[in-house]
């Protein structure tokens, strides 16, 4: 008995998966094709049809803190992307604020961050020794806030906070 040649069906399947994002192919709960007339796209109470479809296809980014950190240690913020992109990742813009001072309380971090195909990334906060007088032993905050950008939407939470403890 001959072994069937499966190269051609395999190539077709790979091509179908590669072209699915371009053709906006996705399963729909209601099933069937969508037919939209030219005037149906905009109504008084809803956003345009194309904007809704585009928003549905964008990965959603969120940020979480792993908790407070002691001076001299490294803390982190975890960025998550849902759904994770199968064939690559995305860059997400963020800003850093809070009562802690970059270069004094922690090593400066640079935006944007890259989230790989796993769907997760970390922003490491390397804390520094306190250059202030030893009598001023207080905690300082570091806040990471996600900023909008191309190719993704912002989810909740958009910002996270950690404290640098003495």
- Map out the domains of the chain as residue ranges: 7-57, 60-165
**Residue 91 burial (CB < 10 Å; 0-12/13-18/19+)?**
middle
Cβ atoms within 10 A of the Cβ of 128, count?
15
Report pLDDT digits (tens) over 105-157: 999 999 999 999 899 999 999 999 888 766 678 899 999 999 999 989 999 99
Query: CATH fold of 60-165, please?
Result: Immunoglobulin-like (2.60.40)
CA angle 87/116/157 to nearest 5° reads 120
**Range with top average pLDDT, 24-28, 87-91, 113-117, 160-164:** 160-164
Q: What would the pLDDT profile of 53-106 be if each residue is shown by its tens digit?
A: 444 578 999 999 999 999 999 999 999 998 888 777 899 999 999 999 999 999
**Mean pLDDT along residues 34-41:** 49
In this predicted structure, what is the pLDDT of residue 50? 47
Q: Is the peptide bond before 79 cis (omega within 30 degrees of 0)?
A: no
Residue 87 has a pLDDT of: 77
Task: Check residues 93 and 29 and name the one with the higher pLDDT.
Answer: 93
At residue 53, the pLDDT reads: 44
Dist CA 5 CA 88 (whole Å): 31
What mean pLDDT do residues 7-17 have? 66
What tokens were used for 123? Answer: 């922003």
Angle of CA points 138, 161, 108, to nearest 5° = 80
Residue 80 dihedral angles phi and psi, to the nearest 5°: -130, 145
Read off the pLDDT of residues 80-93 as tens digits, 9 standing for 90 and up.
Answer: 998 888 777 899 99
Residue 72: predicted pLDDT: 92
Which pLDDT belongs to residue 9?
A: 66
pLDDT at 54: 47
């Amino acid at each position: 008995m001959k072994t069937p040649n499966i190269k051609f069906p395999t190539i077709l399947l790979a091509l179908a998966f590669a072209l699915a994002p371009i053709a906006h192919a996705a399963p729909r709960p209601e099933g069937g094709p969508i037919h939209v007339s030219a005037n149906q796209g905009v109504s008084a109470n809803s956003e345009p049809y194309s904007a809704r479809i585009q928003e549905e296809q964008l990965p959603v980014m969120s940020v979480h803190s792993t908790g407070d950190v002691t001076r001299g240690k490294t803390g982190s913020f975890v960025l998550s992307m849902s759904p994770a992109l199968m064939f690559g990742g995305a860059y997400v813009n963020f800003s850093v604020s809070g009562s802690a001072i970059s270069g004094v309380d922690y090593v400066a971090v640079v935006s944007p961050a890259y989230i790989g195909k796993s769907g997760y990334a970390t922003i490491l906060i390397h804390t520094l020794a306190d250059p202030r007088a030893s009598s001023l032993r207080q905690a300082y905050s570091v806040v990471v806030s996600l900023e909008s950008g191309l190719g993704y939407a912002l989810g909740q939470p958009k910002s996270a906070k950690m404290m640098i403890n003495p």
